[in-house]
Amino acid sequence: MKNKLITIEGIEGVGKTTAVKVIQDYLIQQQREFILTREPGGTEMAEQIRKILLTPHAEKITPEAELLLMFACRAQHIENIVIPALQADKWVICDRFVDASYAYQGGGRQIDMAKIQMLDQWIAGTIQPDLTFLLDASPEIGLARAKNRGTHDRIEQEKLDFFERVRHVYLKRAEKFPERFCVIDATQTLEKVQHELTMKLDELFASTHYAH
């Protein structure tokens, strides 16, 4: 398949939304059909679970329940949205994907990585990103930016050390999978971030050999 699955990862406040927009504009310019989606969510049911996951509750949500809910959403999303889009020759841009479970539930919540890997292999299987942009910044910078957005969801309310663990796992995964990860310093100017995103997309397109 010449169409690709591109994912955008990073902690709160690193500019994922802007990056998604840059990628979207790039694909429009290249006249590629694509869908824009997100995790947790992307289907009606997964969005309902997203709401439960991100709303602050009086009830303590266990790390295990959080992880299983993420992968339940993912099963729905992959089966009903991602696979049909890829089969219809569309590109898929996804705001957070499996790497986020390693980072947030593995790093942040400190769940055994082997459990996450087992769920990854079972639920995502061969559906792995072709390209993953990791927007990287320290939690101090990210959270300060996110603060300006106002209210925080349940996970965004976590403390600094939580996000330090999340960032650490993200960076370790980027090291482990250099062939698909592109780490971008999110503290640069918007123009520089846009430039790096575009350069990488140019590279991806050059290697994709579209028949024109």
Helix (H) or strand (E) holding 172: helix 160-176
CB nearer its own copies, residue 115 or residue 172: 115
Where residue 62 falls (left for φ over 0; alpha for ψ -120 to 50; beta otherwise) is beta
CB nearer its own copies, residue 59 or residue 191: 59
Nearest to 146 by CA among 18, 55, 12, 56: 12
**Binding region for its own copies (CB under 8 A):** 43-45, 48-49, 52, 57-62, 64-65, 68-69, 71-73, 75-76, 79-80, 115, 118, 122-123
Burial pattern 1-30, b for ≥16 Cβ within 10 A else e, equals eebbbbbbbbbbbbbbebbbebbeebbeee
> Which residue do the tokens 């994922």 mark?
16
Minimum distance from residue 169 beta carbon to its own copies (Å):
20
CB nearer its own copies, residue 43 or residue 132: 43
Minimum distance from residue 138 beta carbon to its own copies (Å):
32
Minimum distance from residue 94 beta carbon to its own copies (Å):
17
CB nearer its own copies, residue 125 or residue 178: 125
Minimum distance from residue 4 beta carbon to its own copies (Å):
24
| Beta-sheet strand order (sheet of 181-185) | 34-38, 91-95, 5-9, 131-136, 181-185
CB nearer its own copies, residue 18 or residue 80: 80
d(CA 153, CA 166): 16
Minimum distance from residue 154 beta carbon to its own copies (Å):
11
